[in-house]
Each structure stands twice: as structure tokens, then as C-alpha cells.
Amino acid sequence: MGNKIAAIWARVSNEIQQSLDSQVARAKLQLEKLGYIVPPEFIIKVSWTSLDLFRCPDFQKLRGWIQKRAISALGIFDRDRLNAQGLQRLIFLSECKEKGVELVICQGPPLLDEPEG
């Protein structure tokens, strides 16, 4: 893996969740421990529901980076920061796997431990 560039996806949908900045800090630390570099332009922070992330322009930007292989890893605070809809989650996971993007989950079980993974 020559490209050691990673992106970070941080998302909240209400005030009681972990702050965007703390999600980014945690994911960045984990990615850097694994040898990845996280350029500031590859950090996305959004307030958006997980029920339909495919409508989120920033999520589409992230998917574009994956499709173009601009990143080789994606840091996420917790897997619940991704799609709540099973089909959308499967599409996203499939895209990551197809393009060789490592998913780095900072807390909770890894994404691929669930049955649809």
C-alpha cells in the first residue's frame, strides 16, 4: 500500500453524541498510530441523520474519494456514525472493500463483525 493517506468521517445527529472535534481527534490518533497521514482537507464533520446518508453531499464527497482511490483508509469514531439503512451500509462497505480502503473503527465492534459485513 503506497498511498498512506486517510480520511476521517465524523457525524452527529443530536447534541448528546460525542462532539465532532473529539471524534476527529480520536480517529486521527488511531490512524496515525497505523502510519496514515490525515490531510486537513480529508476530514469531514457533519450534522446529518444516519437514516439516509446517501442524500448527504459530504458523504457523496467521501464516496468519491473512495471511488478515485484518493484515500487508503477511513477513520470513524464508531460504526454507528455510518448508515443506519442496511442496504446503504452494504453498498458503502462493498465500495470500501472493492477499492481497498481500510476501515479503522475507534470504539465498538468492527463493521465486518456484523452478519451483513
- Mean pLDDT, the chain, whole residue set: 89
How much of the chain, in percent, has pLDDT values that exceed 70?
A: 88
- Band of residue 111 on the pLDDT scale cut at 50, 70, 90: low
pTM of the model: 0.87
Give the integer Cα–Cα distance in Å for 27 and 38: 10
- Band of residue 33 on the pLDDT scale cut at 50, 70, 90: very high
Taking a C-beta distance cutoff of 8 angstroms, is the pair 80, 110 a contact? Answer: no
